[in-house]
Amino acid sequence: MTRGAGSAMGSRITRRLLAWLGVVVVGGSAFLFGAVDEGAPRTDADRVHSLAQNFGCPVCDGQSVAESDAVVARNIRQQIARRVDEGRSDESIIAELEAAFPGNDYTPAASGLSSLVWILPVVAGAGALAGLVVVFRRWRREIEAGATPADERLVADFLSETDATSAQPRAEPTEASADPTQADPTQAGPTQTDPTQVDERGDG
């Protein structure tokens, strides 16, 4: 195999990889967006529910005000609804509730150690992306490097074997094999060999 053929094959594989990478990125992003992002609340009721989900029930274990049926949770839900009706902002509503029931705001702080909740996923995502880039670049380098001497020896051995086989006298053609449309594809010459097949066997 020549270096030009290897390079053409390499660019074809790179294009295929890039296409798959694009599919993974687009599909993954869509999945992540659908799973994580709930979008902005559309109605006042959505807004009340969203605020209630982000505020913990003061007397429950791990339940938000939206989930709990405790009296205080119901009172807080009603209070949120009243404040939303009054046109108060989300921040002022949460601040009022946090003043009355401290330590129940589920929204992680954007500073201090709690900020890791926001930072870590971004760092992990960036790390994974960087890892993918490194791996893909390494693969591309390997492909662009073309065939190694060992590969070329392997191909040469294969070609000489094929030549020896085709040089042997053929049997009398039967009626069926006389028909050129019924020609046996395994009798094809070396020029018809799929180069990718040779390349795959030469891996090493």
Partner 1 sequence: MTAETPRRTVWIVAPVAVVLLLLLLLFATRETGPNRDTGVVDRGGLAPSIVGETVDGGVFDLDDQRGRFVVVNFFSTTCVPCIREHPELVSFHEAYAPSGFAEVVSVAFDDSASNVAGFFESNGGDWPVIARDTGSIAVAYGVALVPESVIVADNGEVVDKLIGGVTRAQIENVIGAYIEESRA
Among 39, 87, 103, 173, binds partner 1 (CB under 8 A): 103
Binding residues for partner 1, how many (CB under 8 A)? 32
Q: 134 vs 183, which CB is nearer to partner 1?
A: 134
Residues with Cβ < 8 Å from 53, sequence gap 6 or more?
Answer: 64, 65, 66, 67, 106
How far is the C-alpha of 164 from the C-alpha of 183, rounded, in Å? 20
For residues 100 and 76, the answer to whether their CB atoms sit within 8 Å is no
How far is the C-alpha of 48 from the C-alpha of 83, rounded, in Å? 9
Q: 61 vs 200, which CB is nearer to partner 1?
A: 61
Backbone angles phi, psi at 56, to 5 degrees: -80, 145
Q: 25 vs 120, which CB is nearer to partner 1?
A: 120
Residues with Cβ < 8 Å from 70, sequence gap 6 or more?
Answer: 57, 59, 60
Least gap, CB of 113 to partner 1 (angstroms): 6
Among 37, 61, 194, 203, binds partner 1 (CB under 8 A): 61
Under rule CB under 8 A, residue 72 binds partner 1: yes
Residues at the interface with partner 1 (CB under 8 A): 56-62, 70-72, 74-76, 78-79, 82, 97, 99-104, 113-114, 116-117, 120, 123-124, 127, 131
